[in-house]
Amino acid sequence: METILENKIERAKELARARDATAAARLADELTTSHPEDIRVWILRGHLNELFDDYAAAVKDLTRAMDLTSDEPHLFFTRGRYRFHLDDHEGALDDFASGLKLCDRLNNDYYREAFHFWRAESFIRLGKLHDALQDLSHVGDDQRWWTYKLRTKQDLLRDCRFVES
């Protein structure tokens, strides 16, 4: 049973890569109906909705996944990114902050720098430059992420200084 589900998830991803959005979405919808308690199908559907720029639906899918388990930092990171793209910067801040707390609780640093980077970007959007600078102090100088475009730590620092002037 597990292998069948994994194969179907992989097939949906293949369809998405081939730009067959209709077939990928149909398969993801079938999986959420047949396996509603498996977070992987909700993550898959969220990912597909992101690929096709339906961030509102992607947020709902990740929220459903988070209802099933709240001990996955990547869920907070991913939903925070989706909220950022919806210009819901307060919601994004909440997710990134919750993710950082979860990193502390789990003693897991895998997403820590990414949370700080994206939270700094969200703070900049809200004009909270002091908070952004505090987050950026936890980010390596070589860090870069595609937020609304490819952004480096130096880009964010420059935005903080530019607006502060």
156 inside domain: no
What sign does the dihedral 143-146-147-150 (CA atoms) show? Answer: positive
50 inside domain: yes
153 inside domain: no
Pairing of strands 150-152, 144-146: antiparallel
So what's the pLDDT on residue 161? 87
94 inside domain: no
Give the helix/strand (H/E) hosting 152: strand 150-152
47 inside domain: yes
Domain that holds residue 20: 1-54
So what's the pLDDT on residue 90? 98
34 inside domain: yes
User: What's the distance, CA 60 to chain centroid?
Assistant: 12
Kindly report the average pLDDT of the chain as a whole number: 94
pLDDT digits (tens, 9 = 90+) for 107-149: 999 999 999 999 999 999 999 999 999 999 999 999 999 999 9
pLDDT digits (tens, 9 = 90+) for 4-57: 999 999 999 999 999 898 899 999 999 999 999 999 999 999 999 998 899 999
| Residues 131, 162: Cα–Cα separation, whole Å | 15
pLDDT digits (tens, 9 = 90+) for 42-62: 999 999 999 889 999 999 999
97 inside domain: no
| Residues 33, 31: Cα–Cα separation, whole Å | 5
Give CA separation, 127 vs 23, 105, 124, in Å.
Answer: 42, 29, 5
In the block, residue with structure tokens 């939270």: 119
Burial of 140 (0-12, 13-18, 19+ CB in 10 A): exposed
Q: How many domains does the structure of the chain reveal?
A: 1
99 inside domain: no
